[in-house]
Structure 1
Amino acid sequence: MASTAAAAPKIVLVTGANQGLGHAVIEVGGLRYPENVYILCSRDLEKGEAAAQKLRELEGFHATVDVVQLDVTNDQQIATVVQHVDKTYGRLDVLVNNAGILRGLGMAEDAPASAVRSAFTECLDVHITSVAVLTLALMPVLRKAAAPKVINVTSGLGSITNVLTPGRRMARAMAYGASKVGMNGLTAHMQVGENDSAAAGDSTSPRVRFYISNPGPLKTAFNGFHPLGKPPQLGAESIVHMMGDEESKYDDHMQWEFEGEEMRRVPW
């Protein structure tokens, strides 16, 4: 479905976008909002170019796709991407922190300490530290946009309420789940910082709005194409809804999912 109303073009950067959910975000977003420019970030530039070509070959897809190399744990690549966005576009309207890894799934109690430490270190680095580093690095170009947004991709495991709800069947992945709880907390703290600055009048730039998307279990390479997962295009819906929101419809809550053909609040 294509966009029916004229909208100001947005510059949208999506990390981890050469496959899976990130790729689906650009696919769904590009079909619905073809006026936007989508910056497709991929650790492997060749795979990123192939992913972009696949999008360009989709029927009805006319959006501009710009491919950049980005490993979110690589500070030099982050600096290069920031320079590229500033020089090429002069602003960034939407940042989607989607890049993720899955480590320590079903870790046994007798797992070596080194394996436990490695799983937690990698997950925390990608889902918390790198989200903070990349977001802060991009804040100067986000502040040049009229209504900048940051959308961080979480997991159902990041909702403590859901995890503790009796009867809910959820994966047991301590390192991954804890890192997503931490990402949610980081997002809240970054939003509070923005709110405080705006209230104090410390900034003349637009307030950056932070959101959290819970795409739900998906059928992608990330989880071995789990048979109970839904298509990544459905997982992308909550992100694309927030990306295209011009009326601040989702400002009354931070965590959102798209289920049953509607946007729903996700509890903390």
Structure 2
Amino acid sequence: MAQTTILITGSNQGIGYEVAKQLLSHPNTHILLCSRDKSNGQTAASTLDPTLSRVDPITLDVTDDTSIAAAAEYVQQKYGKLDILINNAGINQEVEYMKEKVKTLPPGSNPLLDIHPSGEDLRNLYRRTYEVNVFGAGAVTESFIPLLSNSARPNIIFVSSHTGSLTLAETGSTTFQGRQVGEAKFKLPSFPIYRSSKAALDMLLLHYANRFGAKGWRVNGACPNLTATKFSGGMGRPASESAVNIVKLCFLGDEVKDGVNGVLSDEEGVVPW
């Protein structure tokens, strides 16, 4: 069986690292573990595979076009193709901002509802968040399309979020395709920068699904749920649980009836846009 080459952005820690770990349990998978910090990437790769025979650490900063181009050139020279691209790198700058501002709130305040960045702070938060979550994902995807085109079964996965769903933002919890999806908290007017970036990412997902679906590509999005990582400040469920659906999306079938394209999902089913 041919080797399946899988590139994961932002995978030296958190969900991306756990996805890489679980993918190694599948035969013939080869992980391109991407990190913007070379040392962190090498440490993570060596921890997953001390021989580095199935994990290749690659320095890739999704906000740096030179870094993206260098990574694509490296993959081209060494592998000649890419089978699966997982756009996992993401940030939530509002969390860090709130940690500082919450110290100034009066007792009984709700940080989610009572902290509203403005002026230069607001603009900078939008810029930094979108640079990674949207612009970075788009730039990486475009740069690796030629390598994905060399695969027998190209697959792109965007790591999105329930909190980016417009439907859940409007309704909170809702019945969708026979199951209860979402929670009432999704209707709260919270984290507008992060949530809007994930909604924008979903549009990128649909763009590429429509662009390449007729050619047999698989392009889908995964909603991992709140996960206990550095990203979330340790709140949420284990990364091992949040990685499950992302790994599942890596192994969709060749035939249309065996797979899906242009769908946002979690491990229980489809998530509404």
Q: Shorter-normalised TM-score: what interval?
A: 0.7 to 0.9
Aligned with residue 34 of structure 2, among 41, 54, 63: 41
Alignment of 1:24-63 (within 5 A): 24-31=18-25, 33-56=26-49
- CA-CA distance at 1:253 after TM superposition: 5.3
Contact preservation (8 Å) 1:34, 1:63? no
Residue in structure 1 matched with residue 169 of structure 2 by the alignment: 163
Structure 1 residues 113, 240: closer, same or farther in 2, change over 3 A?
same
- CA-CA distance at 1:193 after TM superposition: 2.1
Q: Secondary structure at the match of 1:150?
A: strand
Aligned with residue 185 of structure 1, among 179, 203, 210: 203
Q: Which amino acid aligns with 1:49?
A: Q
Moved more, 158-167 or 183-192: 158-167
Alignment of 1:9-158 (within 5 A): 9-31=3-25, 33-56=26-49, 64-105=54-95, 106=112, 108=114, 111-158=117-164
Distance of 1:188 and 1:138 partners within structure 2? 17
- CA-CA distance at 1:63 after TM superposition: 6.7
Percent of pairs with identical residues: 30
| CA deviation vs aligned residue, 1:194-248 (integer Å, no higher than 9, x gap) | 24xx4xxxxxxx543211011111111110110xx11111111111111022245
**What is the TM-score normalised by the length of structure 2?**
0.83
Moved more, 76-85 or 97-106: 97-106
Distance of 1:68 and 1:117 partners within structure 2? 31
1:176 aligns with 2:194: yes
Matched residues, number:
243
Structure 1 residues 76, 54: closer, same or farther in 2, change over 3 A?
same
Distance of 1:67 and 1:124 partners within structure 2? 25
| CA deviation vs aligned residue, 1:26-83 (integer Å, no higher than 9, x gap) | 001111x1311100000111111111122126xxx99700001111001001011111
Distance of 1:232 and 1:38 partners within structure 2? 18
RMSD across aligned positions (CA): 2.0
Residue in structure 2 matched with residue 232 of structure 1 by the alignment: 239
Residue in structure 1 matched with residue 99 of structure 2 by the alignment: none
| CA deviation vs aligned residue, 1:148-198 (integer Å, no higher than 9, x gap) | 010000011111112222452237211000000000011101221224xx4
Contact preservation (8 Å) 1:215, 1:236? yes
Distance of 2:152 and 2:113 partners within structure 1? 45
Contact preservation (8 Å) 1:104, 1:116? no
- CA-CA distance at 1:110 after TM superposition: 5.4
Q: Secondary structure at the match of 1:122?
A: helix
Distance of 1:132 and 1:160 partners within structure 2? 20
Unaligned runs of 5+ in 2: 96-111, 174-183
- CA-CA distance at 1:10 after TM superposition: 0.5
Unaligned runs of 5+ in 1: 1-6, 199-205
- CA-CA distance at 1:250 after TM superposition: 3.6
Distance of 1:14 and 1:152 partners within structure 2? 10
Distance of 2:116 and 2:85 partners within structure 1? 40
